[in-house]
């Protein structure tokens, strides 16, 4: 029963979160009252209140006893929350948002690779190698190209030894699902460049922090260049 209730809560959070980000609720269309939402979803007040609490923690809602619940302005939304970022990307594709996220990757991933080269355990190195093997398998059609690529980047964050980096893995995975598809489309290929990823892995295994940092930076900078070129093209078309 508890698992069912939790599943219902997360479904309501996902539905309402996406509706909020898409702009369904605002000054002219206030957020529904509790009784309406309970009837709409067929759930108890306790389930609905838990969903509202979760949306509040993500910065999307503000609720006060006897005063109601209302949608918060976009600048308060927590973009570091994987759900909020996913809703943003599902709302309407934003090349600007993706460009900003890639700037975060440039700041974090090369340093994570360098730290992994200095301190990754054998098991963590094996996880990176396994992800690389999955990417090779994807070239043969034996694995999913997107998921194997994401697994490689996430494995490096986890191997960095930095708990903050490791906790960003859900955020990185969420955005990479959009970013990798887009950059591969711009390159005209459906698969990642395995040789470039292997350079990162080899440097980590060799314990060469500088080489790991440089190889990782080259990967992310290539993605950044493709995304920024697309952004410039889109801006030029809008201004034409």
Domain ranges of the chain: 2-76, 92-239
CATH architecture, domain defined by 92-239: Up-down Bundle (1.20)
Residue 223 is predicted with a pLDDT of 86
CATH architecture, domain defined by 2-76: Orthogonal Bundle (1.10)
Per the confidence metrics, is the pTM higher than 0.75? yes
Q: Does residue 69 sit in helix, strand or coil?
A: strand
- Cα–Cα separations (whole angstroms), residue 194 to 62, 69, 94, 139: 46, 49, 27, 9
**pLDDT < 50 positions in the chain:** none
Residue 240 is predicted with a pLDDT of 61
Residue 237 is predicted with a pLDDT of 67
Residue 118 is predicted with a pLDDT of 97
Residue 54 is predicted with a pLDDT of 95
Residue 123 is predicted with a pLDDT of 98
| Strands (DSSP E) found in the chain | 61-64, 68-71
Look up tokens 């002219």; give the residue: 28
Question: Buried b vs exposed e over 166-190: b needs ≥16 C-beta within 10 Å?
Answer: eebbebbbbbbbbbbebbbeeeeee
CB of 154 closer than 8 Å to CB of 124: no
Classify residue 141 as exposed, middle or buried by CB count within 10 Å of its CB (0-12, 13-18, 19+): exposed
């Amino acid at each position: 029963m508890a698992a069912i209730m939790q599943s219902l809560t997360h479904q309501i959070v996902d539905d309402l979160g996406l509706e909020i980000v898409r702009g369904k609720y605002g000054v002219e269309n206030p957020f529904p009252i509790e009784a309406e939402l309970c009837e709409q979803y067929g759930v108890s007040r306790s389930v609905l209140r838990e969903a509202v609490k979760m949306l509040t923690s993500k910065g999307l809602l503000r609720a006060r006893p006897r005063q109601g619940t209302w949608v918060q302005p976009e600048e308060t939304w927590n973009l570091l929350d994987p759900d909020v970022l996913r809703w943003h990307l599902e709302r309407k594709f934003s090349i600007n948002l993706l460009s900003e996220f890639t700037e975060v990757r440039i700041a974090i991933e090369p340093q994570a690779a360098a730290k992994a080269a200095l301190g990754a355990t054998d098991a963590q190195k094996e996880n990176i190698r396994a992800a690389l093997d999955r990417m090779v398998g994807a070239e043969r059609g034996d694995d999913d190209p997107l998921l194997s690529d994401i697994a490689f980047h996430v494995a490096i964050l986890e191997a960095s030894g930095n708990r903050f980096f490791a906790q960003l893995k859900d955020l990185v995975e969420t955005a990479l699902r959009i970013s990798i598809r887009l950059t591969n489309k711009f390159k005209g290929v459906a698969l990642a460049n395995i040789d470039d990823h292997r350079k990162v892995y080899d440097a980590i295994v060799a314990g060469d922090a500088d080489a790991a940092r440089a190889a990782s930076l080259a990967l992310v900078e290539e993605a950044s260049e493709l995304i920024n070129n697309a952004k410039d093209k889109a801006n030029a078309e809008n201004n034409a």
